[in-house]
Every structure is written in structure tokens, then in C-alpha cells.
Amino acid sequence: MADSADPLLRVTGATVVLGGRTALEKADLSVDAGELVGLIGPNGAGKTTLLRAVLGLVPLAAGAVTVEGGTGRRAGRLIGYVPQRHEFAWDFPIDIAGAVLTGRTRQMGWLRRPGAADREAVQQALELTGLTDLRRRPIGELSGGQRQRVLVARALAAGPRILLLDEPFTGVDVPTQELLNELFGRLAAEGRALLMTTHDLAAAARTCHRVALINRTVVAEGGPDLLADSDQMLRAFGLDRAIGAVA
């Protein structure tokens, strides 16, 4: 883990109210440069809501989010986001390279043609995700694992310091999971900060530097061995023991 006086990402007292219901309440979380943090909790616990609050897609009723100690538009430019696959329009008539290029929209603007820097960023993202040879394949023809890699490449094309990943391993094959695990480890080693929601507790135990258990607020956080703590898992999931796959 990289040494840093301040975390790249800090969430302090974050509270989100959606439709009159408190979806997130006084959540505190930080992610340092060089760190992969797993965000673990049951369905409806507020994991995706927390990511969207960091992105500014849902308003905070209370609390704050800071990126490199700052807020606002500049802070947002430091964040890359990998949504769940069903949130992307896979029937849009575009190839892989074109889909990845959409990750450069903030740098390019809506109506400008891509420049050399944009093309180079796309090429690097395709190489990192093993998609170079498939760059001209229509996205509607892709497998689940290939689609996941497209979403990761699209986020990386923007050159983020922080990468938010919403269930990146759901429905992907083992080779894709291994490729992504290796890539996420490499990105952390380069000094980026990664925050990943996942239901795969065994994978989180193997790959994350830290985990945070969430159920409307951050219940506990610590090393991956936290996932074998039955008391903390009970608080987060309402389970009487930790999942056996983690042991």
C-alpha cells in the first residue's frame, strides 16, 4: 500500500435519503492510494448508493465526499466508474473501441473529434483489458465476460486516480475473473485507489487489501480476515456465522 498523508477518497458521515427512505446513514469510509477495498453487504444495504454518492449521482442529505482533499468538478474527473452490466446499452450500434472511447467524453466534450491523446488512452485501455484484437467487434455480439472488460476499459480510458467497481465479477467466467483480479492488483500497485462492491466473499478475501461491511452504514472495516468474523458478519448480514467459503 502506498504511503499517503491523506486518503485519495474519503467519505465522512454520508447520509442519503431516496424516496423518503434512508438508504445510507452516517457512513464513513476511506481508500488510500495503492489500496483495493471491498465493499461487502446484503442486497439493499446501500453499496451502490454509496458509489453513486461518491460520483455525485445522488445528493447527500448530510456528510461529505472528498477526493484528494477536494470536492466538485475537478474531484469528479479523478474518478472512473464501472457500473453493473445491465446499466449499459448493449444494443447500441457501436464496436468495442467506440464504446471505450465514450469513457473520454469528459476530456473530449460531446461534439469534438478524438485527438491523439484520446486514441492513445483507448489503445492503452484495450491492451490492459485484453481487448485489442476484438476492438472492431460490435458490442451486441459480446459474451458477459467480454462486456465486463469493455466497461472496465471504458473507465480506464479516462485515466482515473480512483476506480469504483460495482459487482465486476457477477456473471463472468473464470478466465475473465482472473484477468480482472490481476489487473486490479496491478492498478493498485501503480498507486490508484479501488473501491469494489462484490458478493463474492471468497474472492474478496483473496484479493482485497481491506474490506468494509455495510448495512445502511459502515458496520465494520478491517483486513480480509474480517470476513471470517461471525459477530461482524451477523451485524452486516443477519447471519449466525461467516460464509464457509472464506474459511
CATH code assigned at 238: 3.40.50.300
Q: Which is more confident, 228 or 82? A: 82
Pair (167, 244) in one structural domain: yes
Per-position b or e across 80-102, b if 16+ CB within 10 A of its CB: bbbbbbeebeeeeebbbbebbbe
83 within some domain: no
As given in the structure block, the three cell numbers for residue 246 are 472464506
Same domain for 153 and 172? no
Find the mean pLDDT for residues 184-191: 94
The gap from C-alpha 64 to its chain's centroid, in whole angstroms, comes to 19
Q: What is the pLDDT of residue 106?
A: 79
Q: At which of 141, 159, 177 does a domain end?
A: 159
Structure confidence at residue 2 as a pLDDT band (50, 70, 90): very low
181 plus 207 within the same structural domain:
yes
**Residue 21 sits in which domain range?**
1-78+163-247
Query: What pLDDT is attached to residue 244?
Result: 43
User: What was the pLDDT predicted at 76?
Assistant: 72
> Quick check: pTM over 0.85?
yes
Contact 169, 177 (CB under 8 A): yes
CA–CA dist 84, 53 (Å, integer): 16
